Every structure is written in C-alpha cells, then in structure tokens.
Structure 1
Amino acid sequence: MKFTYSALHHQHAPEHIMVRGTMAPNLEAPVRAETLLKQLCAQGHEQVSPQGWGQEWIAAVHDAGYLEFLSTAHERWRQVPNATPVIHPHAFAHYSSRRRPSSVQGQVGYYLAGGSSPMTEGTWTAAVGSAHAALEASKLVLEGEREAYALCRPPGHHAYADFGGGFCYLNNVAIAAHYMASELGRVAILDIDTHHGNGTQSIFYKRGDVHFVSVHGDPNVLFPFYAGYADETGEGEGEGCNLNLPLPLKSEDPAWLAAIDQGMASIQAYAPKALLVSLGFDPFKGDPSSDLAVSTEGFRGAGERIGAYRGPVVLVQEGGYLVEKLGENLDAFLEGFMRMRKAN
C-alpha cells in the first residue's frame, strides 16, 4: 500500500498543553508520527511525498479569516508585550457574542478552543503539510490505487471551518473528502477516533454529498463535550447524512466493533463512490486521552470490517497517544484491513 507523509510535522512541537487548569505534557508530539512511520516502513509500504498542492483545497473548506489567522498569528503574537514563544488561548468568545476582534490576543480566543490547541512558529507549516498528505493520498486513490494511507500530523477532525481545537488546526479528512466529492459526487467518512469528529460533522452537516459516521466515547464526559450526540442527524440537504454512535464509558471490543458494523451498514446503504476513514488509535485501553477499552485485536477487527468495503478507501491518521502501542495497533489494523482488501 502507498502512504503519504510530510516531515514538516516536526515544526509543530509544543511541549505543554493546559488540562483542567494545569500545564501538562503535550501528548500530540512528533514521536507519534515517527513511530507510525517506522512501522509502515518495516512492513514494506511505499512512501509518497505530497507535491505542490498550495492552498486551493484548504481554502475550499476553511474560512478565509481563520486561515489568515493561522498563517500570521505567531508573528503577530510575538509582538505583544511579554508574549511567550508558544500561543496558549486565554480568553474565549461566548457563542452569543461572536464578534471578531482585530487584535491577535482577541483572535486567539476567537479561533482556538480550550487549552489543547497551542501554536508555535511552525504550527501553520506543519498543519499545511498534514493537509497536503491527506490530499496526496486522495489523489493516489482517484488515480487508481484501491487504498492509500495518509500519515497526518497534526491531526484534523476537531477543526471546524473557522475554529481549531483538540490538537487540530486544519481538518485533513474534510479537505480530502471535499476534494474527492468534487470528483466523484458522493463520499463517506467513518471516524473511529475515541473522540467525536466535531469539526468534520460541522463542515458537512448541511451537505448531502458527504455521509459522516462517528464511533466515539460518550461526549458528555469526553472531549469535545458539545457535539457527538445520537440525535445530531444533519440539516437541510444533509438530513440523515450524519450518524453518531456514542459508546458508554469503558466500552470494550464487542460494543466498539458492533458500532463499527452499524456505521458500515449505514455507509453501504448510502452507496458512496469512496470511503475515507478518520483512523484514531486512542480507543485503545490505557490511552491517556480515552475512556474506551479497545484491545489490539479490536483494531484488527476494525480493519477487517473497513477492509470489506469494496470501493476505494483513504485512511487518514487522527489520534492515538500511547506511543509504545501505536506500531502494534497500526500493524494489527492494517493486517486485518489488507487481508480483507485482497479477498475482495
């Protein structure tokens, strides 16, 4: 299988995030991608570098003001008296008064959510490289590959059209899905990260050409808290094209895989021309960001279920923060996935 990867992710490496009022080590670190890359190379998969994408497809999904903020924020921030090298949001816009200020201090809280979206000098460059990896993998599939994997970092599924958060700045899978839908007419996204893909849901909530399914931990107690509930089914042309399958605390393999089965049945009924997968390894039991309890064999089972889909598939990397288990879980998922792909 061909996979795409941008080494530009190394330019985004904030050491700390704010968690429940305390500065904590940032789990979303370069070693995540390095570990997955090592595993892919050990398995003999073919690496492809993203080429010349620019910002056309990024701008087709994301708000122009938000992109301007991301690309200029750090330089502007450093001009503020007593500014730190890392941007940490500290004041946030209330939903009832979403007035966009011109100051960078105000825009930080207008465009970024919570304490898990710090920005450094290289964050914008890394985020663009990650989005380009997703686009390149999509292009490979559109040009005839049956499947491709985008090793994206930073991840993307919490990024709205005009709002970043949860380690995410540009929504890689949404950018790729919009690109593919423009070519194919209709596509589907299956998100199996432990956290609901709230940004992806928002971007496609009123669209009928992208069917979004998310299997995730209970959003009442797990990030993103404010989206991911079962009664969110889409609006307008998107009514019925959004399926959330939240799971109780500590759900193990049987419940998780049953939800994936339900999600895949919904996708098959929608009959997309291609499937994109927001692939998170944070449902794993013991992952520091999760409330689920999936095993390595559970990921093999997920790979089998997704691999049984007969159309083209683009895998887009999202979360997974127990670094010492990332390679093992990726290996299990891809073994199940590729075995079923070859059988079909």
Structure 2
Amino acid sequence: MKAAVYYGPNKVEIDDVAEPEPAPGTVKLKVGFNGICGTDLHEYYAGPIFVPTSPHPLTGQQLPLTIGHEFSGTITAVGDGVTGWAEGDRVAVEPIYKCGDCAPCRAGNYNVCQHIGFHGLMSDGGMAEYTVVPTSMLHKLPNSVSLELGALVEPMSVAYHAATLGDVSGGDTAMVFGAGPIGIGLWFALRGKGVDDIFVVEPSATRRAAIESLGATTLDPTAIDVPTFIADHTRGNGADAVFDAAGVTPAVTTALACVASRKPMVSVAIYEKPLETPLLNLVMNESRIQGSLCYTGSDFESVISLMADGAYDTTGWVATIPIDDVVDEGFEALHAGKKMKVLVDPNGES
C-alpha cells in the first residue's frame, strides 16, 4: 500500500509498504482523509522533534515511520477480543497513547501523560491507505458527519479543549489571536458554546478574508490599536478570555493587554522562539496565562456532536489532495502560505 514515510528533515517519501493487519484489541482502518498540521510541518522542516530516534516507551517505534495523526476512516477488519465495533463503522481517531500509570493519567488528565505518544508521530500513522489503531482511540461518526469532517475532529478538538479552559459563556467577550486552522477551530468552538461576541485578530488579509467568509468579525492589528478598541468595546473591562493561536510575541503582548481582570489568556500555540512578554498587566489585573494541550475523549465527542448539528464549515479554508502530492501540494504549499488546511486523500475517497 502507499504511505507517506518520514525519514527526517525535508524527506517524506511515498513508499510502498506492507499493509498492516489488526492485532488483538485493535481494528484495521481504510483511511478516509488525513490532515497535515503544524506539528507535521515542524517535523518536516526542522525535525525530528517529536518523532523518536530511539524506540518510544509506549509504541516501541522510531524513525522512519508513516506520519499522520489527524484522520478518519472506515473499519475493514477487527482483531481478536474486539467488541462493540464492526466492519463498516466510520470513525474519527483520537491518536493518543497514554501510560495510565503517571500522576496525570491517574488523575484523568491523560492528555498531559508524562510518556505521551501519538499515532502518526510515535508510531506508523494515518497518512496511508490503511492503518491499525487500538479501539480506545475510536469515536464513531454519525451518518451526517462526512469523512472529510471526521479528519478535522482532531484539530478541532485541540481548539475545543482550549475554548473550554477559557471558561466563557453567552454574553462574554472573547478574542482569538491567529486565524489559522486552530484559530478557526476556536471560533467554531466558542460559537458552539454560545459565545457571540468574538473578535479574531489576524494581520494576514488572506486569512482574515477566509474566516470572515464563515461569519467571523476580525481585527487587523496593523491598522488599529487593538487594546484600545477592546477597552472601548467592553467599557474598560477587557475581554473575558483571550486565546493565542498565533505563537508570536506581538500577538501575546497584545493579548495580555486586552484580557480582563482575573481572566485568562489561553495559550494553544507552539512557540518556536522564546517570548519576551510584559507581565505587569497580569500582576495589576491578577489575570493569568493558561496552557492548553491536546484534548480528551469528551472534547472529541463534543466536536462530533457540533459537527452533526452543522456547526462546522470547511468552505474556503480546507483543500484536498491525493497522497502522491503530499510534498508539493501539501507541505510546500502550506509552508508558502498558499493553503490553510490540507487533507490528504490516500484512497481516492473524494
């Protein structure tokens, strides 16, 4: 079968690899779609970062391996001992491997497992025609949710988890910094939680136009003084939650200048460089920075439910490509800013 195999920086090849078969407690999936995310780009251009160069403690796998951790699929075979799942079930995959023994796992916070692994980063993943996953990773897709949307459940759950940590509700003012896929996901999640007063701060005209076409209200930080605007809008109170999905110093500095007293800036970005941020506003307002990592199963179920209700729209920001075009139309196009989100179609589903 065809698979996108990661060998190291600037080296992903479409190889012919052996088709996997399910072991006990696992299922074999015919992959529907697999998204390329920011983590994949970091691995491609600067890795290996998360991809292990020695056997991972939970998966036993290491470089080289088939990448891909944002994917949906259809069950084609089940391993021994599997119950509750059958051939033909359509699923989204929550790709976390957790140890179950560390303090976060014992507390139920397995998304910050001290030995965490990801299917498609620490094991052969979903950017292939077929893959095998444990049943613990499966979330059934209702008939109203397409396999394309199913492949977006993982990144949208990253955003939903962050939105939940922001603790906002109807009537609150929220701000999202960055209108990439996670920023768009935050906007969808906040709307799903009943928040209507949302401002998306984004300097790129292309990205502003994309999220505006979905119905969002945007602010151009190169054209207006964003903290002054928010102060006026909230009668001096500030935003009830701000979310950083940009990962750059100007966004963080502006976000901290907008957040209200005793309210959070939720950080859901990857920071490639150390940040120099003024903390005086946090001290004077008793506001805080809240980190957000990954998701849990409840986030997946919430996103799938919202998708079933029609709350997510891929128009204008999601593109689909065949697996043979992964490098040029996937990694290179995303890196050049020509595309916002790419779904790889390894089996011709589209």
Task: State TM-score, norm by structure 2.
Answer: 0.38
**The structure with more radius of gyration:** 2
Higher helix proportion, which one? 1
Higher strand proportion, which one? 2
